[in-house]
Structure 1
Amino acid sequence: MSDTNTKQVNSNSQGYVILYILLAVLLLSGLIFLFKSSLFEKRSIEARILKDEIYLNEDLVYTDNTPKAAKWQWEFGNGEKSNTQNGSYHYTKPGSYIVRLTVDGELREQFPVNVRDTIRSIVDSVLTISGPTAGVVNEEVRLEGDGEGKNFEWSFGETGRVDVKGKTALYTYRAPGKYVVRLRSDKSARPIYHTILITDPNSEIVQDLVAPGDGERKTIDDIRARLQAIANGADFNYNYYYLINKYMCGNEKVTVNVEMNGKKKQTDIYSYCMGLTFGGEIAVDEAQLTIKPNSSCASLVSIKQHSATAQPTPSTNSADVQARN
């Protein structure tokens, strides 16, 4: 009888031990799952608005660089929405608004925006530009501006500065490309724009943009310098359209795969360049092109960059820019 009781006690003890082991395994598995979920799989929104206080004559510029994001909804606090990843929005009434962003239906962030009435000292007027929409290199282009004001300033998009003053503007382009001409006056709250395509009829044979040796080095340095200029706060339109027109044949539908400090994210060329303008201190280290077969257009740009406050490492900070067909 004693032996039977002893065997039963031992059997019960073994059962409890097995039960405790199973509970411990389940508890450990749960802790590991929670640990991984909280530290390794949690995403956060990486979105920005350019300014949180604007006037009615300004546009709200917004952009998002959340890793692996596929769906966006921007709500502008007045009932209007947008499903674009990046863009701009124009308010029609002054006031305080809360801009809300929802990424992939689960990640959310909001930005307070104050829209002030247009400055009363600036009298807005309607400006117009008349003139050709096409031209050729080394031949004079004539544009006429019309509207109220005494001082008119023209920027033809090639030099990044004011090129001509006065209602009538004469300008000679030195390089082919698609340029955005800007006209301002002292009586206009906002500039107006005119697009002109400049071609070179004497250039029948177009060589690859990237050639081995010194040519490739110059191209790398040129692209890197333009991107760095954008990051440093230089004229965005001038440097951005310079790259688009010279190396991408005017194609702005470009994919950007950014890897920086071991982190990867995908966006487009416009958003990438916009991110440089308010993405912190960025140092662009190198940029290389790959040309489409039988074409002079870039299909891929590989960029290396790092935070200007940290030293770059060889294994990080690369970005791939690939054209969408």
Structure 2
Amino acid sequence: MSDTNTKQVNSNSQGYVILYILLAVLLLTGLIFLFKSSLFEKRAIDAKIVKDEIYLNEDLVFTDNTPKATKWLWEFGNGEKATSKTGSYHYTKPDTYIVRLTVDGELRQEFPVTVRDTVRTVVDTALTISGPTAGLVNEEIRLEGDGQGKDFEWSFGETGRVDVKGKTALYTYRAPGKYVVRLRTEKSHKPAFLTILISDPNADIVSDLVAPGDGERKTIDDIRARLQAIANGADFNANYYYLVNKYMCSNEKVTVNIEMNGKKKQTDIYSYCMGLTFGGEIAIDEAQLTIKPNSNCASLLNIKQHSGTVQAETSSTSDAAAKTK
């Protein structure tokens, strides 16, 4: 009886041992699996761009949320890069680009991006000018501008430059004539213009304006004198704008036909006068205006001139020839 009980106890003990061993093996296997899973778990990249189609006036917004990531390299398909986790990028040319992200030097993802031309909405940016349309030499003119923008720039047509800045413009003309005032701002789609007539109370400039058969010799002498002054190195702006404003109604594109030393060419009044300042010794022989019908504004200027250098060379050659004889 005792032996039987002993055998039964041993048998039960062996069963428990086997059960414990099995449990231990299962537990160890589970721990190993969990350890290996956490240690060798393959990370997946978690990145995105907000929009894959943008316009030139938009920024490409990008972000990455990859777990435990510490290093990022964004490549925008045009040679430029960024190393931030999240940010934005501005393209300067429309095209299709491939944006590439590399996380921690091993995880990679690509995003195709299309950049289109900017569609701009044209805003009403009309400018207006308020003020007189006539004035006197050496008398201050006051003009007011109205419209969108902060930087108001006024050109009064006498200097060819921006003369005044601000919504209110004060300016004093130094010479009589018909001037075109121009106003623009950084937001203006088109500039605003105002034509203003400046008179000299001490001289009747109307009688000096060119008209067919009226004061022709006086006009020719006046133009020749001003052009010759420019050629001789006198103040360019004073003489140039005197001619343009007095005879050409401030039009700097009036055509000029030039005949010089037997050669002919054509240009505009500004280019011609600028050329006089670099042309060496130029002598103005004749100047003739063609006037627009029913107008005091010139549409064409014919000039005959010669080079003083050529004349001097010719004289020297003639003198040498005479001595040889």
Greater helix fraction, Structure 1 or Structure 2: 2
Bigger relative CO (Cα 8 Å, ≥ 6 apart): 1
- Structure of higher CA gyration radius: 2
TM-score (norm 1): 0.39
